[in-house]
Amino acid sequence: MQTLTQTESAPHQLPQLSHARNAGQPLDLDWVASVQANTSAIERRTATLPGRRSVKKDHQAAWLCKAVSLIDLTTLSGDDTWGRVERLCAKARQPVRPDILEALGMEGLTTGAVCVYHEMVETAVRALEGTAIPVAAVSTGFPAGLSSFRTRLMEITDSVAAGAREIDIVISRRHVLTGNWQALYDETRAMREACGAAHMKTILATGELGSLRNVARASLVCMMAGADFIKTSTGKETVNATLPVSLVMIRAIRDYETRTGFKVGYKPAGGISKAKDALTYLALMKDELGMPWLQPDLFRFGASSLLGDIERQLEHHVTGRYSAANRHPMG
């Protein structure tokens, strides 16, 4: 297995993309209105995926290492401290025990990013100096997105100034639920402009949008507005990432690329805590979008507990034994 490494760069320098950044386009309401979602067909397609796409032994270990490289290692708790964030960044630098990586030939493996609240951005940037691991900041009134629009834009610019190279925004769900696509487009476009060179991941909070059709239409509008990624959830909703929602969003990404030529990334977040679930999501991405989307610039997992389970599975692959979770601490 080849070592998965990221090219070293200066702390505030964005990594090179393998594709042209999504520039967005004018809102096309006819295109939005034409989007539908066949719920029963979507559910049938995703229900069969875990059984049909299984990998074993060395192949499974390689895919799990790939999953590690795609994780946005996240802490978004009210009791976050600077020390917790520093420990999380140390885990991002060394996500799997060195002896396991050495046995796998995977030295140099890191996570895709570290995701924190604005207050912790500067701490995370300092802790990750000398690496290419970006800091992502949740913004725009996360998780509800109901602070004033001026405040939401200021949150973005403040986090970018503090060194965040990625911004995870939340949309105003009411615009989707009332079909006010122009308002959703205008807000998202303004947020993209506030991000500047920082990449924008747009959180749809799909568990609160009411239907898969709304998910598909909201995905399309946000991509038209210039989103670099579309993301399922804040992790704070009752229902977070699911395979049916993921299929809808992934196919919206595929349709958008077909029509515009721009690739947009995808980030499932919330509720993905087991290694086997990560493998299923990777298989879905490969089936629907192909290998280019299995890179950190186009796919991320929003997770923290997922890493611990992957590390346990990798240790089992190397030693033949499962270990207790406390042998693989997050910090």
Question: pLDDT (tens digit, 9 = 90+) per residue, 59-81?
Answer: 999 999 999 999 999 999 999 99
Please say if 286 is a catalytic residue. Answer: no
Predicted local distance difference test score (pLDDT) of residue 16: 60
Q: Which of 66, 231, 277, 309 is catalytic?
A: 231
Please say if 231 is a catalytic residue. Answer: yes
Predicted local distance difference test score (pLDDT) of residue 177: 98
The Cβ-side half-sphere exposure at 144, using a 13 Å CA radius, reads 3
Average pLDDT score over residue span 144-167: 97
Predicted local distance difference test score (pLDDT) of residue 12: 41
Average pLDDT score over residue span 123-135: 97
CB atoms within 10 A of CB 62: 17
Average pLDDT, the chain: 92
Four-residue CA torsion sign, 205, 209, 212, 217: negative
Q: Which of 66, 72, 91, 168 is catalytic?
A: 168
Percentage of the chain with pLDDT > 70?
A: 92
**Looking at the domain that runs over 29-326, which CATH code has it been given?**
3.20.20.70
Q: For 164-179, what is each residue's pLDDT tens digit? A: 999 999 999 999 999 9
Enumerate helices (H) and strands (E) in the chain, giving the number of each: 14, 8
Whether the pLDDT of residue 49 is over 50: the answer is yes
Give the DSSP H or E segment for 203. strand 199-203
Please say if 274 is a catalytic residue. Answer: no
Q: For 201-234, what is each residue's pLDDT tens digit? A: 999 999 999 999 999 999 999 999 999 999 999 9
Predicted local distance difference test score (pLDDT) of residue 328: 67
Q: Which of 91, 201, 263, 267 is catalytic?
A: 267
Of 205, 200, 236, 237, the C-alpha closest to 218 is 205
Please tell me the pTM assigned to this model: 0.92
Q: For 2-24, what is each residue's pLDDT tens digit? A: 333 333 333 344 456 778 999 99
Tell me how far apart the alpha carbons of residues 20 and 264 are, in angstroms, rounded to a whole number: 10
User: What one-letter code names the amino acid at 297?
Assistant: D
